[in-house]
C-alpha cells in the first residue's frame, strides 16, 4: 500500500505520517509538501531515513510535478492535508488561499483520475459550517449542517469540499471528506492559539487574546484525529463526509488562563487585543456518524491532552525557537543542499 500525504510537513500531516508508519509498518508513505512558512521539514527528521518513507518538495498546484510523482509512485490512497489554514492570513491575502485550497485540490484529483486511485481523502474543517450562538449549547454541527462560511479561509475549504463531491458525482472518483474541530498537540506551528500561548508564557511575553476571549472551540487532540482519518480511508463509505470532534468545548480565555496556571505564570501577561474581523463565536461538532459507522471516539480528555502538549513544548524548545527565529526554513537546504 502506497499513500501520498500532501502537506505532511505541517502540524496534522506530520502527526498523521508518524501514526501511519507506526500503525502500518509495511505501508509506503510519500510526503508531498511545498514547505511554505507552515511546513517544517525538521519535524519529519525521525522518519527521513526510513525505507518506507519518501519526501518530495513540490506544490500541489504544480500539475507537472504532481503527475510525475503519481507516475513514479502509483499511489493507492491520497490524503490531502495541504492547505493555507490561518484565518488572519486569509483576511490579508485571500488569493493564496483560493489557489492552494481549491486549485491545488483540483490538480490532485485530476491526477487521481488519470492514474487510478483507491481513495482520495480531503481533510477539511468545521469552519465551513460558520458558527453557533453562545446561548445555544444544545446545538452542534452535523454532516447535514448547511455550509455558511465566515472567512476567505473557510470559504476556500468549503469550495474545495464541494469540488471533491462534484468529482465523485461527475467522474465517479472514490472520495471521502473529514471535517475536524480545532486540533492541538505536538508540532503545532506557533501562530495558533495554544502553541503561541505556551511559547509566549515560557518566554514571559504578553499573551494576546482577541476581544474578551469568549469564543468557544471544540478541541481535538491531534493523535485522535489521525486515528479517525486512518479509519475513514480504510473503512469509510465512498462519497461521504465525516465530522471529527473532540467533545472538549473551551473558551479561549479559559485555555489561556489554564496554560498560565500550568506554567506558573501570572495572568497579568494576558493582553486583550482588537477582535478579528468576522470572528466565529462557537464551534461544536457532533461526531455521531463516525462513531456509529466506524466505531471512532476521541480518546484524549482535554485536561490530559493539554498537559501532554505543554510538556512537549517545554521539552522541545529548540523546535519552536528555530521557528520563531526563522532558522527552521534553512533545514531543507541543510538536508538536501549537497544531495
* Three-class secondary structure of residue 59 per DSSP: coil
The closest of 1, 4, 23 to 228, measured between CA atoms, is: 23
CB neighbour list of residue 229: distance below 8 Å, 6 or more residues apart = 16, 79, 121, 123, 178, 244
How far the first Cα of the chain sits from its last, in Å, is 28
Q: How far apart are CA 232 and CA 296, in angstroms?
A: 10
Residue 93 among the catalytic residues: no
Q: How far apart are CA 158 and CA 297, in angstroms?
A: 25
Catalytic residue among 33, 127, 161, 230: 127
Catalytic residue among 33, 126, 131, 161: 126
Contact, 76 vs 1, CB < 8 A?
Answer: yes
Contact, 336 vs 211, CB < 8 A?
Answer: no
Contact, 211 vs 264, CB < 8 A?
Answer: no
Catalytic residue among 33, 84, 120, 153: 153
In the structure grid, which three cell numbers stand for residue 16, read together?
A: 498523521
Main-chain dihedrals φ then ψ at residue 57, nearest 5 degrees? -90, 115
Q: How far apart are CA 239 and CA 324, in angstroms?
A: 40
Q: How far apart are CA 319 and CA 198, in angstroms?
A: 13
In the structure grid, which three cell numbers stand for residue 172, read together?
A: 465517479
Q: How far apart are CA 119 and CA 326, in angstroms?
A: 36
Region of 174 (left: φ > 0; alpha: ψ -120 to 50; beta: rest) is: beta
In the structure grid, which three cell numbers stand for residue 183, read together?
A: 486540533
Which residues carry out catalysis? 126-127, 153
Amino acid at each position: 500500500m502506497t499513500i501520498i500525504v500532501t502537506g505532511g510537513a505541517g502540524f496534522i500531516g506530520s502527526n498523521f505520517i508518524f501514526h501511519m508508519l507506526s500503525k502500518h509498518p509495511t505501508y509506503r508513505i510519500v510526503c508531498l509538501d511545498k514547505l511554505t512558512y507552515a511546513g517544517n521539514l525538521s519535524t519529519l527528521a525521525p522518519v527521513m531515513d526510513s525505507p518506507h518513507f519518501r519526501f518530495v518538495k513540490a506544490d500541489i498546484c504544480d500539475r507537472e510535478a504532481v503527475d510525475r510523482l503519481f507516475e513514479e509512485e502509483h499511489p493507492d490512497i491520497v490524503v490531502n492535508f495541504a492547505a493555507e489554514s490561518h484565518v488572519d492570513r486569509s483576511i490579508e491575502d485571500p488569493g493564496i488561499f483560493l489557489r492552494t485550497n481549491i486549485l491545488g485540490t483540483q490538480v490532485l484529483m485530476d491526477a487521481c483520475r488519470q492514474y487510478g486511485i483507491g481513495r482520495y481523502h480531503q481533510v477539511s474543517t468545521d469552519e465551513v459550517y460558520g458558527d453557533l450562538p453562545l446561548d445555544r449549547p444544545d446545538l452542534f454541527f452535523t454532516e447535514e449542517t448547511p455550509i455558511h462560511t465566515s472567512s476567505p479561509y473557510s470559504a476556500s475549504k468549503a469550495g474545495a469540499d464541494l469540488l471533491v463531491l462534484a468529482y465523485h458525482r461527475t467522474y465517479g472518483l472514490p472520495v471521502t471528506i473529514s471535517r475536524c474541530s480545532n486540533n492541538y498537540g505536538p508540532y503545532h506551528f506557533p501562530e495558533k492559539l495554544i502553541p503561541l500561548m505556551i511559547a509566549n508564557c515560557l518566554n514571559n511575553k504578553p499573551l494576546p487574546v482577541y476581544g474578551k476571549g469568549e469564543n468557544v472551540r471544540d478541541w481535538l487532540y491531534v493523535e485522535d484525529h489521525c486515528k479517525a482519518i486512518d479509519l475513514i480511508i480504510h473503512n469509510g463509505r465512498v462519497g461521504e463526509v465525516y465530522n471529527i470532534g473532540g467533545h472538549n468545548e473551551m473558551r479561549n480565555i479559559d485555555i489561556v488562563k489554564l496554560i498560565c496556571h500550568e506554567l506558573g505564570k501570572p495572568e497579568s501577561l494576558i493582553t486583550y487585543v482588537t477582535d478579528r474581523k468576522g470572528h466565529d463565536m462557537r464551534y461544536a461538532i457532533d461526531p455521531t456518524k463516525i462513531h456509529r459507522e466506524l466505531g471512532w471516539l476521541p480518546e484524549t480528555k482535554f485536561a490530559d491532552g493539554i498537559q501532554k502538549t505543554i510538556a512537549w513544548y517545554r521539552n522541545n524548545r529548540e523546535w519552536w525557537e528555530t521557528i520563531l527565529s526563522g532558522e527552521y526554513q534553512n533545514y531543507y537546504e541543510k538536508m538536501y543542499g549537497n544531495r
